[in-house]
Amino acid sequence: MRVFKNKWFARWSRAEAVSDGILLQAVAEILAGKVEADLEGCDFDNLKFP
């Protein structure tokens, strides 16, 4: 599977020191159904960034 970052998100992740590996792990957890999300309130549970 391919995962893309747009320009805005790439800047944000670089500023927050979130590596591509952590992002890929988060995507894998989302696809596995391990994350609860309320998209109306932009609230994501179980996503933990160091």
CA-to-CA dists, residue 35 to 7, 11, 15, 23, 47, angstroms: 25, 24, 24, 13, 7
Q: Which two tokens stand for residue 7?
A: 């320009």
Inter-residue contact 35 to 44 (CB < 8 Å): yes
pLDDT of residue 49: 54
pLDDT of residue 34: 81
pLDDT of residue 14: 92
- Residues of the chain with pLDDT below 70 are 36-50
pLDDT of residue 20: 92
Q: Which two tokens stand for residue 36?
A: 């609860």
Inter-residue contact 46 to 25 (CB < 8 Å): no
Q: What are phi and psi of 43, to 5 degrees?
A: -115, 115
